[in-house]
Chain A
Amino acid sequence: MARARSLWTGSLSFGLVNVPVSLVSAVRDQNLHFHQIHKKTHERLHVSYVCTKEKTPVDYSEIAHGFETGDEYVMLTDDELAAAQLEKTRTYLVAVRAKGDLLALTSMLFQQEVRPTDELDLPTRKRPGKAKVDRAVALVEALGADFDHDAYKDRYRRRLRKLVKDKEAGETIKAPPAPKAPGPPPDIMEALKASLDEVRAGAGSG
């Protein structure tokens, strides 16, 4: 596997202290990648940018950023965008914390980027009955466990890999029927009780 490369080097600065650091992504891409293929010829497709006026493909070097103001565009170059102060493309809000012996930097959303909940069209809230909440707490605790991240495997990736193999072997792959969402329980108390009984019976026999 390729060693992780740093995507930025600079300094961590607090007070008058500068700590030189490099930034390495903590996430690695594990997705299966597909190419876009022309159905008819089974040949690869490539993306090209076409000028709406000249109707001809445009070279990457001729692409500029235009900000629409009314019916006109203000054109900005990469250099000018970079000069809006910023390293590369933008400024991030980040949190730095210790993770073992290393420092971990996590990018965060600015408050303006988080949708306020009053923009959601929510039904009026009902205060839930105490007996029901007690029952739900009991169920949450009965299904309680420590968080074991490794225990959750990416089944989608595994199935996708198998799908490619099956198709290569000439098998026919059928699309599954469209899934349906189950409705809300007619009686929450009953549903909670039945679930709790089920979990407890399961825990007892296991």
Chain B
Amino acid sequence: MVKGFEVRSGEYVVLDDDELKAASAPKRKTVDIEHFVPREQIDPDVYDRPYYLAPQDGGEEAYAVLAAALRRTGRAGVGRVVLRSREQLVAVVEADQMLRLDTMRFADELVDPGTLDHPPLRRKPDARLRKMAAQLIDGLSGKFQPSRYRDTYRDRVLDLVKRKAKGEEIDTERAQAPAPSDDLMAALEASLKGSKR
């Protein structure tokens, strides 16, 4: 089995794995860092997949030195590496004295928000509404604790399997979206009262 790229309808240029490797063309097996950038300048949408970098024999000290330097500067190393024969844009960051490598998307892989179809946004929402929404957000605010959020889907599927195995009938009604809040002010006020209790 080989790969075929359709150049005209029904006409394929066929490439085998060795030929495809010519496109990735790594000269050295390295993550080549081009710049060190302030971490907060990278928008979360840019990140794709996270990986850990583990030190190899003989590299422990250099690893620890780089991790410490990234931690102190708050910077991420942006560079490229060939993974699974594809050159990827990556960021190397420090986390808990370890180095993590995050693959990143290229700029042209992100949708320009200006091309989205949506009703026009009112530039300035009502000041009172904005203030109340901010209060509600403050009332519901907390420190991010990843352990508080469980992947309940997995639990529910396992539960479903168990019930089905016992021969139970499964109710297949689907979730419905709630109606939009007609009176935004009233909804905000009621929510604020609720969150303060």
Q: Tell me, yes or no, whether A204 is within 8 Å of chain B by CB.
A: no
Q: Kindly list chain B residues whose C-beta atoms are within 8 Å of the C-beta of A74.
A: 161, 164-165
Contact A123 B117 (CB under 8 A): no
**B39 closest partner in A (C-beta):** A147
Contact B37 A146 (CB under 8 A): yes
Contact B7 A81 (CB under 8 A): no
Contact A123 B57 (CB under 8 A): yes
Interface digits, B144-185 against A, CB 8 Å rule (1 contact, 0 not)? 001101111110110111001100001111110111110010
Contact B181 A17 (CB under 8 A): yes
Closest Cβ of chain A to B23, distance in Å, is 4
A125 to B165, CA, bound (A): 49
Q: Which of A14, A38, A113, A149 contacts B191 (CB 8 A)?
A: A14
Contact B157 A167 (CB under 8 A): no
Contact A163 B62 (CB under 8 A): no
Query: Knowing A44-B4, A82-B174, A143-B33 touch, does A16 contact B20 (C-beta < 8 A)?
Result: no
Query: Knowing A76-B164, A87-B175 touch, does A34 contact B4 (C-beta < 8 A)?
Result: yes
**A93 closest partner in B (C-beta):** B149
Number of interface residues of A (CB under 8 A): 115
Interface digits, A165-206 against B, CB 8 Å rule (1 contact, 0 not)? 001100001111001111111001001100000000000000
Q: Kindly list chain B residues whose C-beta atoms are within 8 Å of the C-beta of A174.
A: 22
A25 to B112, CA, bound (A): 11
A41 to B102, CA, bound (A): 41
Contact B191 A81 (CB under 8 A): no
Q: Kindly list chain B residues whose C-beta atoms are within 8 Å of the C-beta of A36.
A: 1-4
A87 to B86, CA, bound (A): 34
Q: Tell me, yes or no, whether A120 is within 8 Å of chain B by CB.
A: yes
**B137 closest partner in A (C-beta):** A14
Closest Cβ of chain B to A81, distance in Å, is 7
Interface digits, B109-131 against A, CB 8 Å rule (1 contact, 0 not)? 11101011110010100000000
Q: Kindly list chain A residues whose C-beta atoms are within 8 Å of the C-beta of B67.
A: 128
Q: Tell me, yes or no, whether A152 is within 8 Å of chain B by CB.
A: yes
Interface digits, B185-197 against A, CB 8 Å rule (1 contact, 0 not)? 0011011101100
Q: Which of B36, B37, B109, B179 contacts A18 (CB 8 A)?
A: B179
Q: Tell me, yes or no, whether A79 is within 8 Å of chain B by CB.
A: yes
A22 to B116, CA, bound (A): 11
Contact A81 B165 (CB under 8 A): no
A174 to B15, CA, bound (A): 11
Q: Which of A104, A152, A181 contacts B107 (CB 8 A)?
A: A152
Q: Kindly list chain B residues whose C-beta atoms are within 8 Å of the C-beta of A149.
A: 43, 46, 106-107
Contact B75 A112 (CB under 8 A): no
Contact A80 B164 (CB under 8 A): yes
Closest Cβ of chain A to B84, distance in Å, is 11
Contact A15 B188 (CB under 8 A): yes
Closest 8 CB pairs of A and B: A15-B191, A136-B69, A175-B18, A37-B4, A34-B3, A181-B29, A147-B41, A147-B37
User: Which residues on B are within 8 Å of A, measured CB to CB?
Assistant: 1-7, 12-16, 18-30, 33-38, 41-46, 50, 52, 54-62, 64-70, 72-73, 75, 77-78, 80, 82, 86-87, 89, 96-98, 105-111, 113, 115-118, 121, 123, 133, 136-137, 140, 146-147, 149-154, 156-157, 159-161, 164-165, 170-175, 177-181, 184, 187-188, 190-192, 194-195
**CB-defined A-B contacts under 8 Å, sample of 14:** A4-B111, A14-B136, A17-B187, A35-B5, A39-B2, A83-B160, A110-B149, A127-B64, A155-B87, A156-B23, A163-B20, A175-B19, A176-B27, A182-B29
